[in-house]
Amino acid sequence: MIILTGRVEQTISNKLAQAVHLENEANTLFSEASRLEKEIDRYRPIGATYPFDEKYAEAKEMKILGNDKRSEAQTIRLTITKIRNNLVHELQKYVHETNTSPGCQTFVVTPDNFHEDRIWIYGLWQNELTLENYLAGPFLKMKQYLKKNGFQKIEISKVPSNLQAPTSH
């Protein structure tokens, strides 16, 4: 038996980088607002001359801006996830075709739970020859479809296994 594993990633890293940047900006704003509120609380008890209302308004504005940036980042991530999930759904026709290929024991395509831009491919073949036949034929169709839909980075690996094929009774 041969195990096939693969990782496919969308080439929209600019969008993910933008989401990460927005999240970092939001965290900085929340941190600064918290620092400002602590400063206000430090001066209030001693009755110091301090522009409390202005500083509270500034901290509130930072939190609002931070929430806006966090919301924008979340929208970007959700859009990327939706594109990926729609593609996984569309790939089911290739999964069915592959599962009926000679020598294929099982084949699945699944979204990555931790990366919005990644899909995993898993398969189990009877032997190296049947896997190579699949990779040279049906897999190329799926690979072209993935590339056409923005998934340019495709990595696969093959691992020999001592698993035994299921026997029918």
pLDDT computed for residue 28 by the predictor = 95
In a domain, residue 64? The reply is: yes
Least reliable range by pLDDT among 27-36, 57-66, 132-141:
132-141
Domain total of the chain: 2
In a domain, residue 134? The reply is: yes
In a domain, residue 124? The reply is: yes
Question: Do 67 and 126 share a structural domain?
Answer: no
- pLDDT over 70 percentage in the chain: 89
76, 19 in Cβ contact below 8 A?
A: yes
Question: Do 73 and 48 share a structural domain?
Answer: yes
In a domain, residue 45? The reply is: yes
Which of 85, 115, 136 finishes a domain?
Answer: 85
Q: Using pLDDT thresholds of 50, 70 and 90, give the confidence band for residue 49.
A: low
123, 3 in Cβ contact below 8 A?
A: yes
| Two structure tokens written together for 168 | 């029918």
Beta-carbon contacts of residue 37 (< 8 Å; ≥ 6 apart):
56, 59
In a domain, residue 120? The reply is: yes
Question: Do 7 and 17 share a structural domain?
Answer: no
The 8-class DSSP code of residue 48 comes to: -
Q: Using pLDDT thresholds of 50, 70 and 90, give the confidence band for residue 104.
A: very high
Question: Do 71 and 58 share a structural domain?
Answer: yes
Question: Do 46 and 94 share a structural domain?
Answer: no
Mean pLDDT computed over every residue of the chain = 85
Amino acid at 2: I
Which of 85, 112, 146 finishes a domain?
Answer: 85
Higher pLDDT, 106 or 153: 106
Question: Do 62 and 26 share a structural domain?
Answer: yes
Residue 123 belongs to a domain with what CATH number?
Answer: 3.30.70.100
The 8-class DSSP code of residue 11 comes to: S
Per-residue pLDDT of 1-22, as tens digits, reads 889 888 888 776 678 889 989 9
> What is the domain extent for residue 63?
13-85
In a domain, residue 168? The reply is: no
Question: Do 32 and 48 share a structural domain?
Answer: yes
- pLDDT over 90 percentage in the chain: 31
Pairing of strands 153-160, 2-9: antiparallel
The Cα 15–Cα 104 span in angstroms is: 36
Handedness of CA 70, 65, 20, 39 (dihedral sign): negative
Question: Do 19 and 6 share a structural domain?
Answer: no
In a domain, residue 151? The reply is: yes
